[in-house]
Amino acid sequence: MYSYTYTTKGVCSRRIFIELDDDGVIQSVRFDGGCSGNTQGVAALVRGMTAEEAIERLSGIRCGPRATSCPDQLSLALTEALAKIN
């Protein structure tokens, strides 16, 4: 099991806590801050998904006029986490 903490940029949430298994499958995601229902929903949807699939699905999603979003930040966090474990 691998745990990773990511500090977000440009969104309401402050940090994302991720746990991946040895095969890169997402075991848990927890956002610190942000829109509680939305971040809990995103976290529940990606549980059991490979990090690569989640990155592909979430990358580039925007929140209103912002250039990023909590899902996009999760894709960046997963990208960094994979780079550190590979």
Task: Report pLDDT for 18.
Answer: 98
For residue range 19-65, list pLDDT tens digits in order.
Answer: 999 999 999 999 999 999 999 999 999 999 999 999 999 999 999 99
Q: Are 44 and 19 in contact (CB under 8 A)?
A: no
C-alpha–C-alpha distance, residues 29 and 48, integer Å: 11
* CATH number of the 2-85 domain: 3.90.1010.10
